[in-house]
Amino acid sequence: MAHFERISRTVLHEWVLWRLVQSRFRSPRGEEFVRTYVESPGATGIVPIRINAHNQYEVVMVRQYRPAVDAYCLEIPAGMRDVAGEDPQDTALRELQEETGFTSTDVRPLGQFLQSPGISNAEVQIYLAVGLTEVAMERHGPEEDDMTVEVLLLDEALRMIDTGEIINAMAVVGLLRADRLLRAESAFGK
């Protein structure tokens, strides 16, 4: 089977952690074409879960102002992979502490996904954290200084996905995958 082939790659612009790249490709049929996209170091997200007095799952989320959409978004703790060589799980735990003041020693991978493969190679690694412990919060920047921490029943957060109140892709994927894993573990008595 024939494949697409990259013929050339040119970095048009670099800023902070990202690169704007233009590449020339050859299609399996031999047609040449150019595409411009953003290269990213990727990000991590973490779904912090605790069990309340009624034996229900609660999820710790953050509400943060996002300049790109000029709105507040309800999200799971997350951040860019901005420390060279840092393990993605360590990045997720660092973001959990910075944004919510919690940490966990019980962290489980929930997989990865591409945020927007039509315009970027940005890949998100997501995790589930259970058995939360309070620690010092270490926020950075004006958006995080204004951020609020919100604790919801997991079932309520899932309902908010259905009603469109939670539309952040990382939160949607993370919450749905966390719910699926927790239900599977409950079914098998874990």
Catalytic residues: 144
Token duo for residue 105: 């020693």
User: DSSP letter at 20?
Assistant: E
Per DSSP, which regions of 76-190 are E strands? 78-80, 102-103, 106-114, 123-130, 133-134, 148-153
Q: How far, in Å, are 3, 23, 78, 94 from residue 19 at the CA level? A: 25, 12, 21, 24
Helix axes 169-187, 154-163, angle to 10 degrees: 140
